[in-house]
Amino acid sequence: MAEGVANDRYVFWLGSGISRERMPDLKSLAKRILISLQGQIEQSNPHCRFRAALDSVIGHAGPSADECNSIDYSTSPESWAVFEALAGRLVNNYARMLGVTVDGEEADYLLWDVLNAAAVYSDPAILPDAEHLCLAALAMEGAASEMPSANWDSLVEKAIEILAGGRPIQRVAIAPGDTRAGRRRTNLYKFHGCARSALEDPAQFRPLLVARQNQINGWVASNPVMASVLINLIVTKPTLMLGLSAQDSNIQSLFASAQVQMPWHYPTHPPAYAFAENAVGGDQESLLQNVYHQEFNAGTRASIRTDALVQAFAKPLLLALLLFVLTEKLRHLVREGFPAIQEVDRAKLAEGLGNGRNLVAANVTSSADDVMSLITKIGRTMTMLREGALPNAASGLYSPVSAEPLELMTANPNLAAGGIAEFAVALSLVGLGLDRGLWAVGPNTSAPDPGAFGLVGRSGAAKIFFAGDHRAAIRLTTNGLLADNDDAVVVHSQSNPVPMHRSPRRPPGRTGLALVREVSVEELLAEGTEVEDLLERFRNKVAL
């Protein structure tokens, strides 16, 4: 499955689970509706419209006779003994709950007025979580070009705005006409509407907020353009569901319709359907039955469930996929950039990259802060490699290894000339040295001018810079990122440029060793590609 993601084979179907730590969950919404309706009841009026609406909402929770007798409409629901139980049951009946109408009010009164969903789900103060940041980075790497989303929030869009800046990376389709806009590197289909758009232009986008049961049941018939786009995605690319239970009837209908047009057969590689869950849920199993029909039988049922289950939730899974994609791209650059390297040596270099990846994975959590820090460091490293500068908000904080999926990298003529293949070799050697105890990861020197990362060897600590070409190398100095008496190593992809005078930034430190050491991967490879010898020569040059 991870290889499929690296090659942009999967459609990422997004549900509320990826925003659960940023946006109100369905149980919280149910509680707010119960409290709001009760608070507006005219206690002296047995025919009060809010009483009638509250009756309907509670009815969708299926209370027992004893539970009904315990409910007192004259007191706040928070004091009811069954309050938590009712709210919990309404989670799986959220569309029916939101479909309850109040006499004299618009059909979407509960969503628009009681929950204030447009404002709540578009709150500019709410920042993207780890899932949204990883999706944005994967999209920029060309590995997540199609993302249908049932979510009203704009956290994926916001994450891409942070990482890509003003670059035209993303197309967002909400209304039917949006599908006519030119495709971009990633395409987000908000088929249940968008809170931010509804708040900004309620006349056009308020009706597109899908929440009520009747809207869901009639969605396919009422949205033929978007439905046909999504069905085409299901037919042509495998499905990866992230935080999406697939309980809504319109989603089930889309997959059933796609199966009629051109079914996926079991088994497929990569798996045609994958769910990031602890277990395959009832609605997801129903979906598998719809798409596989007779192939979902007594002999295959267990193995289909097993193949479809990715037993990790979206937060750790997306971080793992991002690390996998980056590592495989770097391995591809080593493999395709230097065909003269023998297979046994190429395998060692690939192992070095894997060591580095695993070290990163062991020292980063899937918290938003850690993920943002990691992505920012990657963006800083790649921007210094290419530009000899630090990234900025206008151009985005992230710079991908390549803008295309793994299998299309060979067709990019700019990769060969950008020094990135040599950069991949250098990272491979660093990873091998880490595994063999030649050096360890150490703290960078203090901001504002850290290198890509810090290493500590027997001779002390140093920050590591990478320069893809002579222009980037020169700009590391002219931009003030590198000074003469920095404890630093500059790893050049090309031949070493003529040394430039750099102004010191601090009093001299240790003596007897040139503080800024420079090594050329191009020159190292010209002297020989046998990895053990290459690593020893690299080690001598970096002098750690």
Q: With 80 as the cut, is the pLDDT of residue 348 above it?
A: yes
- Contact indicator for 509, 485 with CB cutoff of 8 Å: yes
Determine the angle formed by the axes of helices 224-236 and 249-261, rounding to 10 degrees. 60
Q: Quick one: pLDDT at residue 484?
A: 78
Neighbour tally for 284: CB within 10 Å = 21
Neighbour tally for 278: CB within 10 Å = 10
Instruction: List pLDDT tens digits, range 228-266.
Output: 999 999 999 999 999 998 989 999 999 999 999 999 999
The dihedral through the CA atoms of 291, 292, 297, 300 has a sign that is: negative
Q: Quick one: pLDDT at residue 487?
A: 87
- Bridge partner residues of 454 (DSSP): 442, 463
Amino acid at 395: S
Nearby residues of 79 by Cβ (< 8 Å), 6 or more positions away: 72
Neighbour tally for 73: CB within 10 Å = 16
Q: How many helices (H) and strands (E) does the chain have?
A: 26, 12
H/E run at residue 525: helix 521-526
Q: Quick one: pLDDT at residue 502?
A: 57
Structural domains in the chain plus CATH codes: 2-20+122-312 (3.40.50), 26-120 (no CATH), 315-542 (no CATH)
Provide mean pLDDT across the span 107-112: 98
Task: Please give the structure tokens belonging to residue 243.
Answer: 């935080």
Provide mean pLDDT across the span 178-201: 97
Instruction: List pLDDT tens digits, range 158-176.
Output: 999 999 999 999 999 999 9
- Contact indicator for 117, 153 with CB cutoff of 8 Å: no
Burial of residue 150 (CB within 10 Å: 0-12, 13-18, 19+) is: buried
Instruction: List pLDDT tens digits, range 3-41.
Output: 999 999 999 999 999 999 999 999 999 999 999 999 999
Mean pLDDT of the chain, nearest integer: 93
Q: Quick one: pLDDT at residue 507?
A: 53
Task: Please give the structure tokens belonging to residue 427.
Answer: 């990272």
Which of helix, strand or coil describes residue 309? Answer: strand
Beta strands 453-457 and 460-467: pairing type?
A: antiparallel
Nearby residues of 42 by Cβ (< 8 Å), 6 or more positions away: 48, 50, 51
Least confident of 20-24, 286-290, 367-371, 432-436: 286-290
Instruction: List pLDDT tens digits, range 518-538.
Output: 999 999 999 999 999 999 999
